[in-house]
Structure 1
Amino acid sequence: MSRLARTLYFIGLLVAPGAAVAADLPASQPAPTEARFASGWTFSIDPIYGWIPGFKGDVSVFGNDAHIDVTTLDILDNLGPFLRALDGYYMGSGEWRSGRYGLGYDIVHFSVSGTRDFGNRILTGSADLGFSLTMATLTGNYRAFESAKAYADIVAGVRYTKVNIDLDLTVGPVPAAASGGDDWFDPVLGIRGRYDFADHWYVKGQALGGALGGSDYLYDLSGLVGYSWSNGVEAYAGWRAAHTSYDKDDFTWDVTMTGPMLGLSYNF
């Protein structure tokens, strides 16, 4: 065998196995994981979502203790009065991502107020009650696992919570006012993930927990089922439960919020 023939023979040994393997791969074979991680910046936003939680737990304000137990069905049964009492509402989330790393946010805010008249023939009065809640969470996200159909992220960050209750009371000609509440920060740590179980259909969820911050402890859990279109728009629905146990000075907020959740997201 000539020198040229031997060279061509060894080149054929090196190239042929790789060519055979490449020929056996389906055209839809996903890109290697590292190649996907190396992609540029992407952005996903839920500009506004709906969460209708019930409230159950213990609250102490104005020196008085109270147990609250309002379900989602209670709110829906009185949806008209609730919407009329609603002063402000915003719930939204989003994430910037590049490769394995992302920066995410989630904001929950609403405020309600109402007036109730009371009294008898001798003494009359009115009470104006206002309530507002804000939960704003900022996290750094690390993609620990990703495949063609699933991913799992480790998330860590901080949550800011603010609760405020205002009471304006008028009994006869005598007015009185009181305000109670507090705001605080908590470190949070958790996981989240997604699995595409059919064409366009997926499930996703998140579990966050926190302690050693302003509150004694907190958790925030959600599970959702969604449908995605090819243009990057997704719709989802599911359930979310969040609990915060906070007790400081004369204010206690030991409450679980749980209820249905739905929304739209856009991926760029």
Structure 2
Amino acid sequence: MQTLIKAAAIALAASSAAPVAAQEPGDWHVTLQPYILIPAMNGDAAVRGIDAEVDVGRKDVIDNLNIGFLGYIEASNGQLSFGVDTNYMNLDANDDDAVVAANVSQTAIQPMIFYRVLPYLELMAGARYNSLKLGLESPIPAIDGVDRKKDWIDPIVGVRFNAPISDTVSAGVLGNVGGFGVGSDISVQIRPMINFSVASNISIDAGYQFIYMDYKSGSGDDRFVYDVTTDGPIIGATFRF
């Protein structure tokens, strides 16, 4: 059965990974970055064998967001940095035009290690833990009340590039690929950012995030599919200590 989920999806924002300037070994520096992602989502999903087309605009996500927390912390020492990105979102759909309404909650935790190989370039390795719960509501008895929770971990590898444009502006991009059949079949993230320094240890950050994830498990009535692209603008603030 193909059904259309409108106004119900998850704002999957992974890996803030705010770049830090090169530092002398022996000095630890901490970076904190709260941020907001306004995503659109499209793709295919399946819960307990029920197929669904995900087609969610940015306004749908904003209108149906119950609660969300998105934040990043990083500790760096010279060439080495350790970062953790944490995201929690809860979306409650209530769209009269939708055949199926969904209440979706998602947690994503992404620990990462960065190693600086060039003044503006770092190699990255880590993991992305995803916990996704989807419940369906519908006037169709066979669909109403259907829910499923899935957890998986993707290994990820990538790069982070950041370079100054002026004394107060820098630009960079974070890119990684993961899954490799360990968790999802494949996951890809690309995130360009511009950072505007407003004080010696504070910047305002703006950019755009694209993330694609293709996860499948089970068969028949136990089949679960999350084959979704999430993309949208990002704005945040970075505090360095």
Give the TM-score range, shorter chain.
0.7 to 0.9
Letter in 1 for 2:166: A
Counterpart position of 1:65? 51
1:109 to 80, 88, 104: 88
Compared with structure 1, are the counterparts of its residues 167 and 67 closer, same or farther at alpha carbon in structure 2 (3 Å cutoff)?
Answer: closer
**2:39: which partner in 1?**
53
Q: Give, as a single letter, the amino acid of the residue that structure 2 aligns with 1:208.
A: N
1:222 corresponds to 2:191 = yes
Residue-by-residue CA offset, 1:43-96 (whole Å, 9 max, x unaligned): 0110x20111111111111322122222xxx333x57xx44x322201111210
3-state DSSP class of the match of 1:177? coil
Matched, 1:91 2:70: yes
Note the alpha carbon deviations across 1:222-260, whole angstroms, 9 max, x for none: 001121134310011111000110010110000010111
Of the three residues 144, 147, 155, the one matched with 1:179 is 147
Report the equivalent of 2:201.
Answer: 232
Aligned to 1:75: 58
- 1:134 Cα deviation after fit: 2.1
Counterpart contact for 1:130–1:167, Cα < 8 Å: yes
Q: Which has the higher contact order (CA 8 A, sep 6+)?
A: 2
Between the aligned partners of 2:185 and 2:127, the Cα distance in structure 1 is 14
In 2, distance between residues paired with 1:186 and 1:129? Answer: 25
1:166 to 135, 139, 143: 135
Matching residue of 1:259: 232
Q: Spell out, residue by residue over 1:149-177, the C-alpha distance to the aligned partner (whole angstroms, 9 max, x if none).
A: xx2111101110121111356789xxx63
Distance, in Å, in 2 between the alignment partners of 1:255 and 1:129 is 15
Summarize the Cα distance change of 1:141–1:168 in structure 2 as closer, same or farther, 3 Å threshold. same
Q: Among 161, 164, 172, which residue is 1:196 paired with?
A: 164
CA distance in 2, matches of 1:152, 1:59: 36
Tell me the distance in 2 between the aligned counterparts of 1:129 and 1:257.
17
After superposing the two structures, state which structure 1 stretch, 60-69 or 204-213, moved more.
60-69
| 2:17 corresponding residue in structure 1 | none
Residue-by-residue CA offset, 1:117-139 (whole Å, 9 max, x unaligned): 79xxxxxxxx8731122221101
Q: Distance in 2 between matches of 1:60 and 1:170?
A: 18
The 5 A counterparts of 1:136-155 are 136-146=109-119, 151-155=120-124
Runs of 4+ in 1 over 6 A off after TM superposition: none
Task: Supply the distance in 1 between the matched residues of 2:175 and 2:140 (Cα, whole angstroms).
Answer: 47
Residues of 2 paired with 1:68 and 1:230: CA distance?
A: 42
Q: Could you report, residue by residue, the CA deviation over 1:11-56 in whole angstroms, capped at 9, with x for unpaired residues?
A: xxxxxxxxxxxxxxxxxxxxxx8xx43241000110x201111111
Specify the SS of the correspondent of 1:37: coil
Q: Any unmatched runs of 5+ in structure 1?
A: 1-32, 119-126
Q: Distance in 2 between matches of 1:65 and 1:171?
A: 14
Indicate the RMSD between aligned Cα atoms, in angstroms: 2.5
Cα 1:241–1:253, aligned 2, differ >3 Å: closer, same or farther? same
Percent sequence identity over matched residues? 25
| CA shift in 2, pair 1:178/1:229, >3 Å | same
C-alpha separation between the residues in 2 aligned to 1:256 and 1:198? 34
State which structure, 1 or 2, has the greater radius of gyration over its C-alpha atoms.
1
CA distance, structure 2, for counterparts of residue 53 and residue 116 of structure 1: 18
Q: Which moved more, 1:55-64 or 1:218-227?
A: 55-64
Given that 2:82 and 2:111 are in contact with CA atoms closer than 8 Å, whether structure 1 keeps it comes out as yes
* Structure 1: distance between partners of 2:237 and 2:214: 30
2:79 is matched with 100
TM-score w.r.t. length of structure 2: 0.80
Three-state SS of the structure 2 residue aligned to 1:198 is: coil
